[in-house]
């Protein structure tokens, strides 16, 4: 049963039952029954998660939102969209683009073609547009959700502002299916920019990556919509597993690459700002070389350099994916420390247990994706990486999960990012809302 | 004792004890003692609230954050500020403006010279910049708070992204002191715009106000930073109680006025966009007349038209202040229906019980401030307004509190904006975190 396995084939359950309800009422009936009979359940959206949060661990019943995919309403004056939880992110984005005054979803991520908006909200997905449009805690205006006892929380507000009582929906944003099933989402969508452009820059030091970020805030300001980075090892890996035939526009090799995207309402003004930005970077020797897309095709090509990384990784072997928030001053040090550690242990190098340690991610948000490519998921390798990486992150005041969530992978490592009093109040809330513990067990909160 | 009375002099308690702690630890000790002895407390910031949420009802102990006013840290690369809860909003804004690369607070409101950031967070304050920078649910990155039993929740994260566990701080944002005392705030601040300008427009119909809003999203887009409105009765009242000697720039009278603010990084580009916007409005006869500020003084003058309204009101008599979110299609109808209702009851008119019903507010956010000026707070008037206004709001799918909160004023009206299942889960959370009910009693959640 495909519902048992995550897309990386890293997590595998043994469920024999999947429910595919079409209505909120059906979900309510299913949960009420499961709760009364103490049957554990796993809510599942597009099954694109990276931490094993959306598949069963044992024989939990899967509740899929596949059949809940209707757009409920859209208001073209306010830009507020209301839809079922099972709507696919890209489908929503296309729907908004087709409106007379075009709009777009405030989030975008690699899995957009499969992931569900309900899953996005349940995991507080971040992605490529967070830098500009903020997190789902700000853009989600209302939720409809079903509690474990079958109660339907009808909080599907379409108001921008509403200060009446505790903001209960916020508890569900990022709760990874442990408090109930999200069935409907109301979200504020921004107007689709009339002009978009992309530049890729070659940079010699990580300090200069930081300087480029500060310069972009200063010179691009309100039109800056993405600031992504990857290192030279990432590019090497992408080239080696170049599935899509991507061309690599910069001739020389650089230790670091930065992708800057701008989105605005006036192409003439935006190009002018981009020009000023690039001139300042070159004049101050912050970047060595850069290329600006000349048309939509080149824009896609430049974005594919960044968006193709996860796929290139997964072609290269078994991938250990880490998703860390850390202060920029120590942002890249983790990659170097990890390479040194694996080197010292004699497991790192071509044809060795670990072939690649690559770093990329949303540097504009302080979010590093550290991917470690191994021959296979090997306990020897795992034990060299974990809990080292979590301890390192704790020591540098980071978060062990910036945007991927905890799931099964990191439930027992929560203590590296949250104090015991924080974990205690989380457990108290879980206990209060799901006293029988039927919702997505063994995940999210520590079991040890 | 001034701590007993709110600034409107509408709510008055009889407390004989105020605590003015200097540290989070002291607050922890006070709460622990109060909780063990079941002594109710009221957290109080700048005491600028509008719904009686920050003053005692009876003899509750006041815990003031007046003495907790230190800035803890600021990172000029990320723009993340960490400070004590008792810092005054304007002080923080000035501090950020003085940084080498200027920053500013993501919120701004009339009470900025007195209100505390802790109170802003506890009430989820909205204000003038929400349209551009979003709500505190998106910009607050971390909180330090003390629970009723004295437990210190150390969640003062300075990370933009952190998906590790339930986002507990969100429960405290807008909880109005009913779950604990907020003692520290970490917040993402945007770069201070290099260019700001303001225009005031005269508009004939409310439908054209809506059209102007859609046009502003389209033409001003990423530089739009405020879209405010007031009606002709508001202007009449402001002129009659013109304390600051404000000049009124438009010659004719119009039924509606709109203030548009733009904030960007390039004055030349921004002026160009503003010009295009105004031309489109005039060409399509959406506005009748308009004036654009030519310098900083004129900008302040135009803003004072909007910001002076509450003060003019309070000079005119006893003010019933309502703060409603409603869909734009029925936005102004409430003012008309209210006038008709008071007229029919024979209480409305010059020298009558009610002299003014004025409408103004953050129309760009769907947030109406309806102020009713009366000779005094008279039960006859009150009963004509309430619950009529709440029923009206419910019928039009609005919220009875967009940004002011519930406090004492609206605790028992919560049912007009939230379902019984929503109220029930709120009570469950309150009971779980504050089982002795010592935190800000009689407010926020319904007692009837």
Q: Once rounded to an integer, what is the mean pLDDT over residues B32-50?
A: 97
Residue of chain B whose Cα is closest to the Cα of A223: B222
Q: What tens digit of pLDDT does each residue of A252-283 get?
A: 899 999 999 999 999 999 999 999 999 999 99
Percent of chain B's residues with pLDDT above 90: 91
Closest CA to B216 of B179, B248, B262, B247: B262
Q: How confident is the model at residue B80 (pLDDT cuts 50, 70, 90)?
A: very high
CATH class, domain A200-309, is alpha beta
Find, among B27, B67, B28, B31, the residue nearest to B46 by Cα: B67
Q: How far apart are CA A433 and CA A178, in angstroms?
A: 9
B75, B119, B126, B160: best mutation site toward chain A, by most A Cβ within 10 Å?
A: B160
Question: β-strand B181-188 against B224-231: which pairing, if any?
Answer: unpaired
Confidence at residue A69, expressed as pLDDT on a 0 to 100 scale: 97
- From the candidates A154, A158, A163, which should be mutated to test the interface with B, based on the most B CB atoms within 10 A? A163
d(C-alpha A68, C-alpha A119), whole Å: 12
With beta carbons less than 8 A apart as the criterion, state whether B434 and B40 touch: no
Cβ contact, residue pair B161, A219, below 8 Å:
no
CA separation, residue A174 to residues A299, A302, A423, B109 (Å):
32, 31, 15, 30
> Which class would CATH give A2-64?
alpha beta
Percent of chain A's residues with pLDDT above 90: 91
Residues A274 and A199: beta-carbon distance below 8 Å: yes
Q: How confident is the model at residue B246 (pLDDT cuts 50, 70, 90)?
A: low
Cβ atoms within 10 A of the Cβ of B154, count?
17
* Helix (DSSP H) and strand (DSSP E) numbers for chain B: 15, 15
pLDDT digits (tens, 9 = 90+) for B355-369: 999 999 999 999 999
pLDDT number for residue A314: 87
**Burial of B319 (C-beta count, 10 Å sphere; 0-12/13-18/19+):** buried
pLDDT for A246 = 65
Chain A residue with minimum CA distance to B403: A163
Q: Which of A131, A143, A164 to mutate to test the interface with B (most CBs of B within 10 A)?
A: A164
Predicted local distance difference test score (pLDDT) of residue A252: 81
Q: Are strands B289-292 and B318-325 parallel, antiparallel or unpaired?
A: unpaired
CA dihedral B92, B162, B150, A162 (to 10 degrees): 70
Q: Give the CA-trace dihedral at A287, A293, A299, A302, to 10 degrees.
A: -40
- What pLDDT score was predicted for residue B395? 97
* B165–A77 C-beta distance less than 8 A: no
Question: Chain A: residue nearest B219 by CA?
Answer: A265
CATH 3.30.70.2740 domain range(s) in chain A: 317-404
Assigned architecture for domain A71-188: 2-Layer Sandwich (3.30)
CA distance A12 to chain B (A): 23
Q: Is the pLDDT of residue A286 over 70?
A: yes
Taking residue B1's Cβ as centre, other Cβ atoms within 10 Å add up to: 12
* B421 contacts A217? CB cut-off 8 A: no
Each residue's pLDDT tens digit, A387-437: 999 999 999 999 999 999 999 999 999 999 999 999 999 999 999 999 999
Neighbours of A397 (CB within 10 A): 14
Q: Shortest CA distance to A54 belongs to which of A25, A18, A78?
A: A18
> What percentage of residues in chain A have a pLDDT greater than 70?
99
Residue-wise pLDDT tens digits, B113-131 = 999 999 999 999 999 999 9
Model confidence at B244: pLDDT above 70: no
- DSSP string of A88-119, one letter each residue: BHHHHHHHHHTSSS-B--S---GGGGT-BHHH
- The Cα A18–Cα A239 span in angstroms is 40
Cis amide linkage into residue A387, ω under 30° from 0:
yes
| Predicted local distance difference test score (pLDDT) of residue B74 | 97
Which tens digit of pLDDT belongs to each residue from A107-126? Answer: 999 999 999 999 999 999 99
Contact: A219, B265; criterion CB under 8 Å: yes
Domain at B317-405, CATH class: alpha beta
The mean-pLDDT minimum among A235-244, A312-321, B425-434 falls in: A235-244
- Residues of B whose CB is below 8 A from A78: 327-328, 366
Specify the CATH number of the domain B195-309.
Answer: 3.30.70.2190
> Do the beta carbons of residue B324 and residue B399 sit within 8 Å?
yes
Numbered ranges of CATH 3.30.465.10 in chain A: 71-188
Into which CATH architecture does domain A317-404 fall?
Answer: 2-Layer Sandwich (3.30)
**Kindly report the CA angle at B188 between A398 and B7, in degrees rounded to 5?**
130
- B252's CB contacts (< 8 A; 6+ apart) are B202, B288, B289
| pLDDT reported for residue A243 | 58
* DSSP helix, strand, coil percent of chain A (3-state; round to 5): 35, 25, 40
Cβ-Cβ contacts under 8 Å for B325 (sequence gap 6 or more): A159, A160, A161, A162, B365, B366, B367, B368, B398, B399, B402
Nearest residue to B19 (alpha-carbon basis) of B54, B70, B65: B65
Taking the C-alpha atoms of residue B214 and residue B221, their distance in angstroms, rounded to an integer, is: 10
Over 70: is that where the pLDDT of B336 sits?
A: yes
Residues 6+ apart with CB under 8 A from B414: A164, A165, B400, B406, B423, B445, B446
For all residues of chain A together, what is the average pLDDT?
95
Give the one of A79, A166, A221 whose C-beta lies nearest to B171's C-beta: A166
Structure confidence by residue, pLDDT tens digits, B10-40: 899 999 999 999 999 999 999 999 999 999 9
Alpha-carbon Rg of chain A, whole angstroms? 22
Confidence of residue A159 (pLDDT cuts 50, 70, 90): very high
- The number of beta carbons lying within 10 Å of the beta carbon of residue A417 is 26
Q: How many CB atoms lie within 10 A of CB B38?
A: 9
- CA A268/CA A339 separation, integer angstroms: 45
Q: Closest CB to A404: pick one of B158, B163, B417.
A: B163
Q: Which residue among B138, B163, B193 places its CB closest to the CB of A403? A: B163
Residues of B with CB below 8 A from A153's CB? 419, 421-422, 425
SS3 of residue A355 by DSSP? strand
Per-residue confidence band for B149, with pLDDT thresholds at 50, 70 and 90: very high
Higher pLDDT, A97 or B448: A97
Helix (H, G, I), strand (E, B) or coil at A240: helix
Q: Dihedrals φ, ψ of A244, to 5°?
A: -90, 10
Cβ of B139 within 8 Å of Cβ of A134? The answer is: yes
- List pLDDT tens digits, range A222-241: 999 999 999 999 999 998 88
A79 Ramachandran zone, left/alpha/beta (phi>0; psi -120 to 50): left
Per-residue pLDDT, A187: 98
Interatomic CA distance for residues B334 and B326, integer angstroms: 9
Q: Exposure of A129 by Cβ count < 10 A (0-12 exposed, 13-18 middle, 19+ buried)?
A: buried
Residue ranges of chain B assigned to CATH 3.30.70.2740: 317-405
Strands (E), B107-180: 140-146, 152-155
Q: What is the pLDDT of residues B175-215, one digit of tens each?
A: 999 999 999 999 999 999 999 999 999 999 999 999 999 99
Considering only the beta carbons, identify the residue of A191, A325, A432 that sits closest to B221: A191
Write the CA distances from A11 to A174, A377, A407, B216, B407, integer angstroms: 20, 11, 11, 49, 48
* Cα separation values, A225 from A129, A216, A445, B4, B157, Å: 6, 10, 34, 48, 24
Residue B309 — very low, low, confident or very high, per pLDDT cuts 50/70/90? Answer: very high
Do the Cβ atoms of B358 and B230 come closer than 8 Å? yes
Alpha carbons within 13 A on the beta-carbon side of B356: 28
CB atoms within 10 A of CB B29: 15
Give the pLDDT confidence of A347-368 residue by residue, as tens digits: 999 999 999 999 999 999 999 9
Q: Is B139 in contact with A135 (Cβ distance < 8 A)?
A: no
Q: How far apart are CA A94 and CA A97, in angstroms?
A: 5
Q: Could you give the residue range(s) of every CATH 3.30.43.10 domain in chain A?
A: 2-64
Residue A144 predicted with pLDDT over 90: yes
């Amino acid at each position: 049963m495909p519902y048992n396995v995550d897309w990386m084939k890293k997590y595998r359950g043994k469920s024999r039952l999947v429910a595919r309800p079409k209505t909120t009422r059906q979900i309510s009936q299913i949960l009420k029954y499961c709760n009364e009979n103490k049957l554990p359940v796993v809510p599942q959206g597009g099954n694109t998660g990276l931490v094993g949060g959306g598949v069963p661990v044992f024989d939990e019943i899967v509740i899929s939102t596949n059949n809940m995919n209707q757009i409920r309403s859209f208001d073209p004056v306010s830009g507020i969209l209301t839809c079922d939880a099972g709507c696919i992110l890209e489908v929503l984005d296309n729907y908004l683009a087709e409106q007379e005054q075009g709009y777009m979803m405030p989030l975008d991520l690699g899995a957009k073609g499969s992931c569900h908006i309900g899953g996005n909200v349940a995991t507080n997905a971040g992605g490529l547009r967070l830098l500009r449009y903020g997190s789902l805690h700000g853009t989600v205006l209302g939720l409809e959700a079903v509690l474990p006892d079958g109660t339907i929380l009808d909080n599907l507000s379409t108001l921008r502002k509403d200060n009446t009582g505790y903001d209960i929906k916020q508890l569900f944003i990022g709760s990874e299916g442990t408090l109930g099933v999200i069935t409907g989402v109301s979200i504020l969508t921004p107007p689709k920019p009339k002009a978009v452009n992309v530049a890729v820059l070659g940079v010699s030091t990580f300090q200069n990556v930081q300087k480029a970020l500060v310069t972009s805030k200063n010179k691009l300001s309100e039109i800056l919509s993405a600031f992504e980075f990857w290192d030279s090892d990432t590019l090497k890996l992408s080239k080696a597993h170049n599935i899509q035939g991507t061309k690599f526009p910069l001739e020389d090799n650089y230790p670091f690459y930065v992708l800057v995207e701008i989105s605005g309402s006036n192409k003439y003004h935006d190009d002018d700002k981009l020009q000023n930005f690039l001139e300042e970077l070159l004049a101050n020797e912050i970047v060595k070389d850069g290329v600006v897309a000349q048309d939509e095709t080149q824009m896609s090509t430049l974005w594919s350099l960044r968006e193709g990384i996860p796929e290139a990784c997964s072609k290269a072997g078994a991938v250990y994916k880490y998703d860390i928030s850390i202060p920029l001053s120590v942002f890249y040090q983790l990659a170097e420390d990890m390479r040194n550690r694996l080197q010292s242990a004699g497991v790192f190098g071509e044809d060795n247990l670990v072939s690649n340690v690559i770093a990329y991610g949303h540097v504009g948000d302080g979010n590093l994706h550290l991917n470690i490519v191994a021959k296979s998921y090997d306990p020897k390798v795992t034990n060299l990486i974990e809990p080292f990486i979590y301890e390192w992150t704790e020591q540098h005041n980071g978060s062990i999960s910036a945007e991927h969530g905890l799931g099964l992978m990191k439930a027992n490592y929560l203590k590296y990012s949250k104090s015991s009093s924080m974990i205690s109040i989380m457990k108290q809330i879980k206990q209060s809302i799901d006293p029988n513990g039927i919702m997505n067990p063994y995940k999210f909160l520590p079991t040890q």
